[in-house]
Amino acid sequence: MSQHVPTQTPETLFTGSSQMHGLVRAHDWAASPVGPVASWPTSLKMLVKTMLGSRYPMILTWGPELTQFYNDAYSLVIGDKHPAALGTDIRGTLAEAWDSLEPLVREAMTTGVASWVPALQLLLNRSGYREESYFDVSHAPAYDDTGAIGGMLAVCAEVTPRVLSERRMRLLRDLSAQASDMRSVAKTCGDLVAALADHPLDVPCALIYLRAEDGRSLSLCGAVGIERGGPLSPRTVLLDADSREAAPYLRALEGERVRRDGLEALLALQGGPYGDSVGTLLFQPLAGAGTAAPLGVLVTALSPNRAFDEGYASFCELLSAQVAVSLRNARAYEEERQRAEALAELDRAKTAFFHNISHEFRTPLTLMLGPLEDVLAQVPVSEAARKDLELVHRNAGRLLRLVNALLDFSRLEAGRIDSSFEPTDLATFTRELTGHFRSAIERTGLRFRVECEALPEPVHVDRQMWEKVVFNLLSNALKFTFEGGITVRQEVRGHDVLLRVTDTGTGIPAAELPHLFERFHRVRNARSRTHEGTGIGLALVRELVALHGGDVSVESEEGRGTTFTVRVPRGHAHLPADSLQASRQQPSTASGVRPFLQEAERWSDAPPAPLTPEAASPPAEGEGRNEPRARVLVADDNADMREYVERVLSPSFDVTLATDGQAALVAARAQPPDLVLTDVMMPRLGGFGLLRALRELPSTRTVPVVMLSARAGEEAAVEGLEAGADDYLVKPFSARELVARVRSMLELSRMRRETLRQELLAQSLRESLQARDDFLAVASHELKTPLAAFRLHLERLERSLGDDALGRAKSPLESAGRQVQRLHALMETLLDVSQLTTGRLALELNDVDLTAVVGKAVARLRDEVERMGVTVTLDAGTPLVGRYDKLRIDQVVTHLLSNAAKYGEGRPISVRVAAEDGTARLTVRDQGIGISEEDRARIFERFERAVPGRNYGGLGLGLWIARQVVEAHGGRITVDSKPGLGSTFVVELPIEGLQAA
């Protein structure tokens, strides 16, 4: 008996809860080519059931009509064609991509062989446009219940983001490679558009616009995929805010990303893998370095087959950033190249200038040296005149040596130096050259050894150049050697001749050795016989030796000495053929060595002995012989300059000479001078170091210092003055200017000392006044105690007397009471003076009716004033309330009334209190003697009286105290008076609160 198999319905077969389960259950399969579900073969049911349960994108086609089944994951692949595609022919759903898919589907269904295609490009129209997309797909046969192929099962995974990302990264890498190379902006723009041209799928066209230097326009510097000069690719864009054409460029330059759509007709450009029309341009800024303005604008077309989603936008942003980096690097390269070219041109101009100016210098120097030599040789002159002429001749020769060095160097730089290499007995020639230096070296107490062995053959050298090499090395050795000796050795070493100049001098720091042969380089803070020099001697030696095909090296140790080694090849194969024994007039060695020797001989002079007043020249005409002469300390490492300054200043001042800053500091410590005259650049201790040391010593802190320097210009003078120098004198200077500067500095120093003395005296007076005020304060407090006791005893005495005795003693008691009151007032006044002068006056401010305070004060004083035969009238209106110290205002009224009674000559006094223009005004008017105009200006000062010379009593402090109190309240007090017509004092006080002073 067979078992009954229940009929399978979609509801019982496809029981899942996903969207596609529901759609498959609800679909009218009976109307489709596959028929109702009950008629499906079991294999189809299982395939559909398995596929619907999978989370991987899968599609199944069945039968010759290719009826399609798919799952939820695949529904995302076909986009808006879902869910209408379910149960229909796949050829209709994927019609736009069927040319690519049909071979794969047919192969699986006809041959039974499965396929696998990675990153298959498919054209899909699933979002309203023809979309470029990529899939990894596998097509396999699907079998029916009989084992025959009944359909096709495809598994696919969309890899569009990965494919696009890899492709775009290749483009960014290509652009990045352009950024690493150094080339011009124009070449970089060309390379950038070439790289963009290889990626039309992502960048159908691109335009690179760069901002002009004036910032008013953009220039098209690169274009790809679009013709230059078209309506959307102008060669120049004027950045006019009112121009519609410039609007997107201006917005991009402000940092905005701008899209322009609907440009298909204007662009007339096809792009993407399917040749669709391009209709969108994107404008982006090309960022400058840091916060600088953008370099320009990058315009790119967007692919018509890709949506401008977040990924596409990020790619475009990276694209513009990479283009900007390449352009920034190119612009930096161009700027650096321009700077290098400018420096090279400047160097060429400098070399030409040195060459020309050296020639120009030689003519006047020749005309100076020739006549000087004739005068010295033929004309009899006085000893003083001969010294002056020798000084001029010596320094003109030194100047000629410096000019020759500059001329040689400029010729070397320009490659125009004349050379004539001839076979020379180099041992004999070197001994001759070094012999000229023997006396100058031995005069300093140094040993001098020359060891030049005979050479097996003559050596080809340029005799003039070899002279300069030997002279510069010997001069350098003598300059830096103070004890020991100098040795010159020459020997053969293989194919070379070596010349070594060794000294036991100060040595050279290791850090300085690599720079020793550089132009204008000088070892800083090195101890030497002089600080003078140009810094080109050793550089010239290196260049001259190099022309011989050799080289020069140095070995040195600080404090142990230095050895310079010159290597020159033997033979002549290494020398230019046209320079071998070339004809050239050879000047005598004596003329070449003379400037070196003249300078070296001045180094060997003994240090100058300080001049004593007795040895100094007599005072100049008009100067008192009994007055002490000012002492001037002169520090300079140049012997000629020291002698010149001494000769100029010694008629008027006592001059002490020092060879450098260190010697000057020792002399200043031993006996502080009245003025220091110092060179800036000196060995051991320079001018600035001497200045700092003098300012640190209490004994020389105020000594005026005048700096001497060859550095002209405002900056050099400012540097000296800012360092603390009192004056700055630029060489060359005249004798009259030097004397005038020294005199003015000495007079200024005298005035400063006098000013300081006056300031100290004023300070002493201020301290004395402070002590007086402090004494007054203490004395006032101490006197008030016995005064209070005295008043109490008077009151007790008055109460203890009977009526008869009181009547007889009333008048004396009242008089004594008045004197006690007067003495108490004087104590209060002195106490006020102390508080006011020391700034200790404190106001107790409260809401006070000024009218009432004045009324009470007038009432209290009325009896006293009327005893003097004076009547007082008070005109007081409405209350005037303000922030006042009641006791201090009472004190002001008391002083004004007492003053009016004292000087009123018995005539009436009127007092008025009123408000005028928002201010409280207290007016006290008398009809007394009045005050003259010249006295009105001082009556409010301490210890001043209205009528000087006449005795009216009092301390002259009342009006001063009144003014201080009124001003402390934020008010003011004035007086209007004429002699014989009385005086009117007016006090103005703020009504509302204390005003800021």
Q: Which of 308-322, 698-712, 811-825, 951-965: highest mean pLDDT? A: 308-322
In 838-948, where does DSSP find H-type helix?
Answer: 850-867, 886-903, 933-936
Q: pLDDT band for position 614 (50/70/90)?
A: very low
**Distance (Å, rounded) from C-alpha 721 to C-alpha 249?**
55
CB 208 within 8 A of CB 175: no
Angle, helices 589-603 vs 639-649, to 10°: value is 60
- pLDDT at 583 exceeding the cut of 60: no
Confidence (pTM): 0.46
Q: pLDDT band for position 783 (50/70/90)?
A: low
Closest CA to 873 of 920, 926, 931, 930: 926
**Distance (Å, rounded) from C-alpha 57 to C-alpha 35?**
25
Q: Which of 406-410, 454-458, 515-519: highest mean pLDDT? A: 454-458
- pLDDT at 996 exceeding the cut of 80: no
Sign of CA dihedral 705, 708, 711, 713: positive
**Distance (Å, rounded) from C-alpha 170 to C-alpha 860?**
107
Mean pLDDT of 108-132: 91
The letter for the amino acid at 976 is D
* Residue 760 confidence (pLDDT): 82
Biggest CA–CA distance in the chain, Å, is 168
Mean pLDDT of 154-160: 93
- pLDDT at 534 exceeding the cut of 70: no
CB 108 within 8 A of CB 80: no
User: What percent of the chain shows pLDDT beyond 70?
Assistant: 77
* Residue 202 confidence (pLDDT): 92
Mean pLDDT of 137-163: 93
pLDDT tens digit sequence for 681-716: 787 788 888 888 998 888 888 899 998 876 655 555
**Distance (Å, rounded) from C-alpha 682 to C-alpha 662?**
9
Name the percent of the chain in helix, strand, coil, to the closest 5: 45, 20, 35
**Distance (Å, rounded) from C-alpha 597 to C-alpha 440?**
7
* Residue 673 confidence (pLDDT): 93
Checking phi first, is residue 549 left (phi over 0); if not, alpha (psi -120 to 50) or beta?
left
* Residue 41 confidence (pLDDT): 93
CB 90 within 8 A of CB 137: no
* Residue 420 confidence (pLDDT): 83
**Distance (Å, rounded) from C-alpha 870 to C-alpha 346?**
97
In 904-983, where does DSSP find H-type helix?
Answer: 933-936, 958-968
- For the ranges 261-265, 594-598, 602-606, which has the lowest average pLDDT? 602-606
* Residue 170 confidence (pLDDT): 92
Mean pLDDT of 625-644: 81
CB 538 within 8 A of CB 470: no
**Between residues 699 and 801, the one the model is more confident about:** 699
SS3 521: coil
Checking phi first, is residue 283 left (phi over 0); if not, alpha (psi -120 to 50) or beta?
beta
**Distance (Å, rounded) from C-alpha 10 to C-alpha 541?**
106
Closest CA to 69 of 42, 95, 48: 48
Structure tokens at 235: 């060669």
Mean pLDDT of 951-971: 75
- pLDDT at 70 exceeding the cut of 80: yes
- pLDDT at 784 exceeding the cut of 60: no
CB 284 within 8 A of CB 308: no
CA-CA-CA-CA torsion for 121, 126, 131, 136, nearest 10 degrees? -20
* Residue 794 confidence (pLDDT): 62
N-terminal to C-terminal alpha carbon distance within the chain: 126
* Residue 520 confidence (pLDDT): 64
The DSSP letter of residue 586 is P
* Residue 622 confidence (pLDDT): 43
The DSSP letter of residue 563 is E
Mean pLDDT of 342-351: 75
**Distance (Å, rounded) from C-alpha 33 to C-alpha 65?**
7
* Residue 773 confidence (pLDDT): 62
What are phi and psi for residue 916, nearest 5 degrees? -140, 125
* Residue 340 confidence (pLDDT): 84
Angle, helices 589-603 vs 426-435, to 10°: value is 40
* Distance from chain centroid for Cα 686: 28
Peptide bond into 587 cis (omega under 30): no
- pLDDT at 223 exceeding the cut of 60: yes
pLDDT tens digit sequence for 382-413: 777 777 777 776 667 667 766 766 666 666 66
* Residue 224 confidence (pLDDT): 93
pLDDT tens digit sequence for 862-915: 877 887 788 888 888 888 888 888 888 888 888 888 888 888 788 898 999 998
- For the ranges 257-271, 344-358, 476-490, 686-700, which has the lowest average pLDDT? 344-358
- pLDDT at 762 exceeding the cut of 60: yes
How far lies 147's CA from each of 33, 43, 60, 172, 704, in Å? 20, 9, 17, 53, 120
**Distance (Å, rounded) from C-alpha 905 to C-alpha 910?**
14
- pLDDT at 616 exceeding the cut of 50: no
**Between residues 311 and 589, the one the model is more confident about:** 311
Mean pLDDT of 235-245: 90
CB 191 within 8 A of CB 178: yes
What are phi and psi for residue 653, nearest 5 degrees? -140, 160
Structure tokens at 488: 């010159």
Q: pLDDT band for position 802 (50/70/90)?
A: low
* Residue 32 confidence (pLDDT): 92
**Distance (Å, rounded) from C-alpha 376 to C-alpha 392?**
11
Q: pLDDT band for position 997 (50/70/90)?
A: very low
* Residue 933 confidence (pLDDT): 80
* Residue 735 confidence (pLDDT): 79
Closest CA to 540 of 405, 682, 372, 379: 405
* Residue 52 confidence (pLDDT): 92
Mean pLDDT of 459-480: 86
- pLDDT at 608 exceeding the cut of 60: no
Q: What value does the mean pLDDT of the chain take?
A: 81
- pLDDT at 525 exceeding the cut of 80: no
**Distance (Å, rounded) from C-alpha 431 to C-alpha 434?**
5
Sketch out the chain's domains with CATH numbers: 10-158 (3.30.450.20), 164-341 (3.30.450.40), 418-603 (3.30.565.10), 841-990 (3.30.565.10)
Q: pLDDT band for position 268 (50/70/90)?
A: confident
Strands 727-730 and 846-849, bridge-based pairing: unpaired
- pLDDT at 128 exceeding the cut of 60: yes
Checking 751-755 for CB contacts under 8 A at 24+ apart, the result is: 752/702, 753/702
Q: pLDDT band for position 995 (50/70/90)?
A: very low
Peptide bond into 273 cis (omega under 30): no
Q: pLDDT band for position 589 (50/70/90)?
A: very low
Helix-then-strand count for the chain, H and E:
27, 32
Strands 705-709 and 675-679, bridge-based pairing: parallel
Checking phi first, is residue 198 left (phi over 0); if not, alpha (psi -120 to 50) or beta?
alpha
Helix or strand holding residue 119 (H, E)? strand 115-124
Residue 40 burial (C-beta neighbours within 10 Å; 0-12, 13-18, 19+): buried
- pLDDT at 791 exceeding the cut of 80: no
User: What percent of the chain shows pLDDT beyond 90?
Assistant: 29
Closest CA to 825 of 856, 771, 795, 861: 861
Residue 696 burial (C-beta neighbours within 10 Å; 0-12, 13-18, 19+): exposed
